[in-house]
Homo-oligomer: A and B are copies of this chain.
Amino acid sequence: MQAPQFKDFAKEMVDYIANYLENIRDRRVLPEVQPGYLKPLIPAEAPEKPESWEAVMADIERVIMPGVTHWHSPKFHAYFPTANSYPAIVADMLSGAIACIGFTWIASPACTELEVEMLNWLGKMLGLPEEFLASSGGEAGGVIQGTASEATLVALLGAKAKAIKRAQEDHPEWDETTIISKLVGYTSNQSHSSVERAGLLGGVKLRSLKADSNLQLRGETLEAAIKEDLAEGLIPFYAVCTLGTTNTCAFDRLDELGPVGNKYNVWIHVDAAYAGSAFVCPEYRHLMKGIETADSFNFNPHKWMLVNFDCSAMWLKEPYWIVNAFNVDPLYLKHDMQGSAPDYRHWQIPLGRRFRALKLWFVLRLYGVENIQAHIRRHCAFAKQFEALCVADSRFEIFTTVQMGLVCFKLKGSNDLSEALLKKINGRGKIHMVPSKVNDVYFLRMAVCSRFTEAEDIDYSWKEVSAAADELLAEKSKRNVPDGTAMCATVLLTHPISLYLC
């Protein structure tokens, strides 16, 4: 493909994208296809000869769109939002054209340096304490990871390296295998499954601690667990504090966990994947009280801050524990210009990295802080709007306090009833939600996801929930319960979603 064809093709794609997004509300949010739908639509082998770009363009509606779940429709309320914005799309175009691999400073200085500065911008926007920021002039700093699950793993590996070092100093007679077998980390039973997975991947024990009745992990629970483990000769080393859980958007008590972590030399990692974006609004910062006691903090601009996936922002007070844990040839570091020029390949699991800071730069400049705040506040208000509609209907009840852009609700009555309601909602195909289950209570999650959402969309979604309930309860009253033959997609979707976060 030569430049003139590229220009035609790319500009046609620009128009297609604008048209797709501006009219996304008109598409069925959840596809009706069955597994295997795509295979018969394309040849079994790649073509020998090149095809025209017009042929490819035509196949988007024929092959791809029938199988797309439209995450950016105002009718999409599943999982948590994933970001999408025009500035981010254009920035990614530039990133694709420069197409550098920023594993070291010299491999493309702009790629590393813009990332350092954007993490400073972002950290200041959120009100992170100075001691997390490279702009403080110390060792600390931020980095863009691919996903929150990688950030959790990276922090765990840093904490592990730090704990091993300390144990070796205290007990020179212990070998590394012995030390690792004694390490124990902590998380809440409400935290995301990726935390448990980080423990598996990192080869260390992670204890799941019980959250309180508000689904928040408390300091006294952590301290009791640490004391138990110390008494058994174990080495507590790492705890994950979730600000905004996947199930219900509950906030662990960082103000209690942090001091406990500091007291016992336990690395506190804050996972604020979804809710962290809200800290751009000062009125939500009380939810991260105690942040100065944490060792690492992570949130996903690619969730709720209009920066397309992947862009997971992470700050570390002591990044050298990560750098040393990942560095397979420490001699190399001696030639480094740490501080002014971090070698980000040592800060992450993969070695290669795209020029992702461009997305942050474009989005922050083209929205401005005030419009990002407005975006967050609008979503929170939409959740309140939905909550009010739900509360006004005596058939329904709210499950846990509404936080941020998430409403957890259920039909009064058995789990089966709410599960049947969800099947009906997804089966009707007009809106899309997924459920969760906490303390054996099954509930539906209405997440405000789209940047196109208006108050009318929330009304629409509520009417759809209500209509599905009408239908279900009418059927129930005739003792004609749905028989579970809904399409496989909706069957799948009745399982709780705790795995689905990124």
- Chain B residues lying within 8 Å of A111, measured Cβ to Cβ, are 67-68
- Chain B residues lying within 8 Å of A93, measured Cβ to Cβ, are 10, 13-14, 17, 89, 92-93
- Chain B residues lying within 8 Å of A147, measured Cβ to Cβ, are 350-352
Q: A114-B38, A349-B201, A350-B146 are in contact. Are A22 and B45 (CB under 8 A)?
A: no
- Chain B residues lying within 8 Å of A67, measured Cβ to Cβ, are 108-111, 113
Q: Which of B36, B53, B98, B125 interacts with A341 by CB under 8 Å? A: B36
Q: Which of B50, B86, B125, B328 interacts with A368 by CB under 8 Å? A: B50
- Chain B residues lying within 8 Å of A6, measured Cβ to Cβ, are 14, 17-18, 86, 89-90
CA distance A64 to B353 in the complex (A): 17
- Chain B residues lying within 8 Å of A201, measured Cβ to Cβ, are 157, 201, 326, 349
- Chain B residues lying within 8 Å of A100, measured Cβ to Cβ, are 68-69, 71, 82
A337 at interface, CB cutoff 8 A: yes
- Chain B residues lying within 8 Å of A325, measured Cβ to Cβ, are 200
Q: A35-B340, A87-B1, A97-B89 are in contact. Are A44 and B369 (CB under 8 A)?
A: no
Q: Which of B20, B106, B120, B149 interacts with A489 by CB under 8 Å? A: B106
- Chain B residues lying within 8 Å of A441, measured Cβ to Cβ, are none
Q: How far is the CB of A117 from chain B (nearest CB, A)?
A: 6
Residue of B nearest to A367 (CB): B50
Q: How far is the CB of A119 from chain B (nearest CB, A)?
A: 11
Q: How far is the CB of A435 from chain B (nearest CB, A)?
A: 13
CA distance A38 to B358 in the complex (A): 13
Residue of B nearest to A360 (CB): B46
Q: Which of B84, B117, B488 interacts with A39 by CB under 8 Å? A: B117
- Chain B residues lying within 8 Å of A99, measured Cβ to Cβ, are 71-72, 82-84, 308-309
Complex interface: stretch among A209-217, A463-471, A490-498: A490-498
B-contact 0/1 string along A268-283, CB 8 Å cutoff: 0000000000000000
Residue of B nearest to A2 (CB): B86
- Chain B residues lying within 8 Å of A369, measured Cβ to Cβ, are 46-48
Q: A501-B351, A502-B101 are in contact. Are A66 and B96 (CB under 8 A)?
A: no
Tell me the A25-71 residues at the B interface (CB within 8 Å). 30-31, 33, 35-39, 42, 44-51, 53, 55-56, 60, 63-69, 71
A197 at interface, CB cutoff 8 A: yes
A150 at interface, CB cutoff 8 A: yes
- Chain B residues lying within 8 Å of A353, measured Cβ to Cβ, are 502
Query: 6 smallest A-B Cβ distances: which pairs?
Result: A352-B502, A67-B110, A6-B86, A38-B113, A50-B368, A203-B203
B-contact 0/1 string along A286-328, CB 8 Å cutoff: 0000000000000000000000111000000000000001101
Q: How far is the CB of A102 from chain B (nearest CB, A)?
A: 9
A365 at interface, CB cutoff 8 A: yes
- Chain B residues lying within 8 Å of A203, measured Cβ to Cβ, are 180, 202-203
B367 touches A37 (CB 8 A): no
- Chain B residues lying within 8 Å of A94, measured Cβ to Cβ, are 13, 16-17, 60
B49 touches A370 (CB 8 A): yes
Q: A37-B109, A46-B125 are in contact. Are A352 and B71 (CB under 8 A)?
A: no
- Chain B residues lying within 8 Å of A309, measured Cβ to Cβ, are 99, 101, 352, 354
- Chain B residues lying within 8 Å of A196, measured Cβ to Cβ, are 328
Residue of B nearest to A85 (CB): B1
Q: A201-B157, A349-B201 are in contact. Are A108 and B499 (CB under 8 A)?
A: no
Residue of B nearest to A122 (CB): B46
A384 at interface, CB cutoff 8 A: no
CA distance A88 to B65 in the complex (A): 19
- Chain B residues lying within 8 Å of A153, measured Cβ to Cβ, are 349
A401 at interface, CB cutoff 8 A: no
- Chain B residues lying within 8 Å of A197, measured Cβ to Cβ, are 326, 328
A351 touches B499 (CB 8 A): yes
- Chain B residues lying within 8 Å of A11, measured Cβ to Cβ, are 11, 14
- Chain B residues lying within 8 Å of A86, measured Cβ to Cβ, are 1-3, 5-6, 9-10
Residue of B nearest to A19 (CB): B3
Q: A107-B69, A335-B492 are in contact. Are A88 and B97 (CB under 8 A)?
A: no
Q: A93-B14, A93-B17, A366-B53 are in contact. Are A499 and B328 (CB under 8 A)?
A: yes
Q: A3-B18, A337-B35, A352-B309 are in contact. Are A68 and B150 (CB under 8 A)?
A: no
CA distance A176 to B420 in the complex (A): 42
A177 at interface, CB cutoff 8 A: yes
B365 touches A120 (CB 8 A): no
B-contact 0/1 string along A359-379, CB 8 Å cutoff: 001101111111100000000
A225 at interface, CB cutoff 8 A: no
A121 at interface, CB cutoff 8 A: yes
